[in-house]
Amino acid sequence: MKEQEFYKKLVDLYAGEELAQELKDELELAAFQDPDLSHDMQTLSATVRTLRNMPRPEFTEESFHRILMKMQTRGLEVEVKAPTPAHLQLRLPMNG
Amino acid sequence: MMSGESQHDSLAEKRWLQALAKGDPEAVGGLYTIYGDRIFRYAFRMLGNRSDAEDVTAETFLRVMRRLNELRADGAFRTWLFRITRNLCIDRMRQHKLMELPADHAYGGSMEKTTLRITVHQALSELQPEYREPLILCDLEDISAKEAAEILNISVPALKSRLYRGRRALRDKLGGSLEKAL
């Protein structure tokens, strides 16, 4: 009974991938004989995985410039340097 | 250990903060180039729409300029920036109920995945802010528990407790949708 309670407490760490491999193996072994524990582990892990795989809101070029304009309209002096063209970033030794 | 990209950002941040202190007009632009996308994304996740997220991002950098005297050169700039954004988002959420489903949100992939993502977005919006915020910072924005705790101004154990409860609350809201995804 004590062990079951202990395993239940580890599920949060398991789902967040914060558990040491040894404890992870032990928990997975215990889950074979405990359907409730197994269900808790699977559904919580799936929740975390789903969250971590959610698409990122895209920071578009239009948004970048609209924000810049908003700052400038409100009196902030902002200057953004255009990135250096790739062919000027590296000085390669010339052959010959 | 710092990744190459974050080490590069950290060096660039230091350079721009020094420039900011000297009144260089390019400094805000430099900091916006480093952090604009992350601040925008965080605001978008909090508010749920592009237009408000753009407003809040612009206001965040305006506040940086207004509060230059609070700026500390101890590597906590990013945390400070996120904190300003968070406060601005909370103000907006108080003004009007946001978090509606964004029309221009990129939901790619199969129909099942798209349906699940829309369901997750809705379920997230229904969570209490004290549970939603740790999920946005740690699971969606991949910010460490320590930094997320600093942004939310709570201890790391409190952050973890809210994060774990938030995940469970979300799981319960997702219910059957999640079973299908397993």
**Which residue in A56, A57, A79 is closest to B25 by CB distance?**
A79
Separation in Å, CA of A1 to nearest CA in chain B: 23
The reply to whether residue B28 touches residue A63, judged by beta carbons under 8 angstroms, is no
**So what's the pLDDT on residue B26?**
82
Per-residue pLDDT of chain A (96 residues; tens, 9 = 90+): 578 778 888 999 999 999 999 999 999 999 999 999 999 999 999 999 999 998 888 999 999 999 999 999 988 877 776 555 555 555 555 554
The reply to whether residue A48 touches residue B58, judged by beta carbons under 8 angstroms, is no
The reply to whether residue A55 touches residue B167, judged by beta carbons under 8 angstroms, is no
ipTM above 0.90, yes or no: no
**Which residue in A44, A63, A66 is closest to B168 by CB distance?**
A44
**So what's the pLDDT on residue B1?**
45
**Which residue in B58, B120, B174 is closest to A54 by CB distance?**
B120
The reply to whether residue A67 touches residue B174, judged by beta carbons under 8 angstroms, is no
For the segment B81-105, what is each residue's pLDDT rounded down to a tens digit? 999 999 999 998 887 655 544 444 4
Contacts of B137 (CB under 8 A, 6+ apart): B42, B82, B143, B147, B148, B151, B152
For the segment B2-58, what is each residue's pLDDT rounded down to a tens digit? 555 666 677 788 888 888 777 777 888 889 999 999 999 999 999 888 999 999 999
Contacts of B60 (CB under 8 A, 6+ apart): B39, B43, B81, B84, B85, B88
**So what's the pLDDT on residue B103?**
46
The reply to whether residue A76 touches residue B65, judged by beta carbons under 8 angstroms, is yes
The pTM for the full model equals 0.82
DSSP string for residues in A37-48: HHHHHHHHHHHH
Residue/partner pairs of B59-67 with CB below 8 Å, 24 or more apart: B59/B88, B60/B84, B60/B85, B60/B88, B61/A71, B61/A76, B61/A78, B61/B28, B61/B31, B61/B32, B61/B36, B62/A71, B62/A74, B62/A76, B63/B88, B64/B28, B64/B31, B65/A76, B65/B28
Q: Set out the domains of chain B in order of their start, with CATH numbers.
A: 1-100 (1.10.1740.10), 103-182 (1.10.10.10)
